[in-house]
Amino acid sequence: MSTGTLNIDLDALVANWQALDAKSAPTVETAAVVKADGYGLGVAPVSRALAKAGVRKFFVAAAEEGAELRQVLGRGPEIFVFSGHMAGDTDMISDLDLIPLLNSVDQLTRHFEALGTAPFGVQLDTGMNRLGMEPAEWAGVAELVLGAGPQLVMSHLACADEPDHPQNIAQLEMFRAMTDGIGAPRSLSATGGLLLGPEYHFDVTRPGVGLYGGLPFDAARPVAHISLPVIQSRVVEPGESVGYGASWVAEEQATIATVAGGYADGLLRSMSGKGALYHEGTACPIRGRVSMDMIAVDITHLGVEPRSLDILCAEQGVDALAGFAGTIGYEILTSLGARYRRQLLGGGAA
Ligand SMILES: *Cc1c(COP(=O)(O)O)cnc(C)c1O
């Protein structure tokens, strides 16, 4: 076996959704965000497992993702599109029953002109300044829009992973000011907001990263496990270097294992010389630079040459690995790439 193995634990995924769902009142619907190929883990297996567990609302970033998801889920579950109704999306939206979250008066006009009152939602900007209608814009169209019966009125928090950040309250108050009393379902929170407490839940929550085992859901079960086969190992003498740029030089005799997996597999080059791989719970430090297809690992202290080493495992989750690379768990997951042998674990596997 010459490529890494990516095990995707669908039971853990479902357990994470259930644990997040249990944090809100039974009247709050917990949706699932499956954009970017289910955060890199595969939109088909992830969405099927979640649908089987009872998820009825899914969110994606782009209409094309919604189209792919519709093939996976069939008719029934609702699919919301964050980028709304963009030019060229009309046929996809209408043929595949996607629900665009309209972000601007331009998008509203496009949607109503092309599809009348076909299902739609609205995204409001409450301070993130990324997507959605601003208060003045919304004030101008709210009556008309609400008359057409939106499926959802939503906004998004910029700082929800920092519970004490004053912007959370500010956005909550802005959202309330823009939507209290509208009589349409409302949604404000992704994983971080869901964890801030019930006042952030409204009618629908939209967790993504927490389902996949990432922070800020610190009680999440890990979903992705990666193990990389050892291609070769060698003894390196004091003064010899390892890898590109000769950036690591052995001070003492060391045994170096070269594993199959590198930055082309989302094991970011910025973790060069910093992270570790694990053998049965023992950390083995990365030596020198991460290459495109290989990483050199110090196994001197193991005393055996293992057949493989783990880079995502119980000892080191996506956020720990992200820490070494100077990034966040989201980027680790969505960078993993196509080269792994992917194995689905758990009863949700279909
Ligand atoms: C990505 C995204 C989510 C999910 O966010 P997580 O932090 O992964 O839970 C929810 N809502 C919007 C608008 C998003 O872009």
The verdict on 199 and 236 lying in the same domain is: no
| Residue 3 within any structural domain of the chain | no
Residues 50 and 196 in one domain: yes
End-to-end CA distance of the chain: 24
Choose among 320, 309, 268: nearest CA to 5: 309
Query: pLDDT at position 309, please?
Result: 98
Residue 5 lies in a domain: no
Instruction: Choose the final residue of a domain: 179, 212, 245.
Output: 212
Do residue 64 and residue 135 come from a single domain?
yes
pLDDT band at 216 (very low <50, low <70, confident <90, very high): very high
β-partners of residue 59 are 33, 80
Kindly state whether residue 337 falls inside one of the protein's structural domains: yes
Atom of ligand 1 nearest to the CA of 123: 13
- Residue-wise pLDDT for 303-312, tens only, equals 899 999 999 9
Q: How far apart are the C-alpha atoms of 221 and 213, rounded to whole Å?
A: 5
Q: What's the length of the chain?
A: 350
Annotated binding-site positions: 130, 292
Which of 180, 212, 244 corresponds to the end of one domain?
212
Q: Whose CA is nearest to atom 4 of ligand 1?
A: 208
**Å from CA of 132 to ligand 1 middle:** 14
Does residue 208 have its Cβ closer than 6 Å to ligand 1? yes
CATH code at position 54: 3.20.20.10
| Domain-located, residue 2 | no
The model's pLDDT over 251-300, given as tens digits with 9 standing for 90+, comes to 999 999 999 999 999 999 999 999 999 999 999 999 999 999 999 999 99
Using the predicted structure, report yes or no on whether residue 26 has a pLDDT greater than 80: yes
Q: Is residue 69 domain-shared with residue 204, that is, in the same domain?
A: yes
Pocket test residue of 41, 46, 59 for ligand 1, highest count of atoms within 8 A of CB = 59
Residue 117: predicted pLDDT: 85
Asked if 230 and 339 sit in the same domain, the reply is yes
**Band of pLDDT at residue 2, cut at 50, 70 and 90:** confident
The reported pLDDT for the residue numbered 302 is 96
Query: Which CATH number goes with the domain that contains 333?
Result: 2.40.37.10
Predicted confidence band of residue 347 (pLDDT cuts 50, 70, 90):
low
Same domain, yes or no, for 154 and 23? yes
Identify the CA nearest to 86 among candidates 116, 115, 62: 62
Same domain, yes or no: 140 and 44: yes
Domain total in the chain: 2
**What pTM does this model have?**
0.96
Q: Which structural domain range is residue 197 located in?
A: 10-212
Q: What are 51-107's pLDDT values in tens digits?
A: 999 999 999 999 999 999 999 999 999 999 999 999 999 999 999 999 999 999 999
The Cα–Cα gap between 222 and 6 comes to 12
Mean pLDDT of the chain: 97
Residue 348 has pLDDT above 60, yes or no: no
**282 & 185 share domain:** no
C-alpha 252/C-alpha 93 separation (Å) is 62
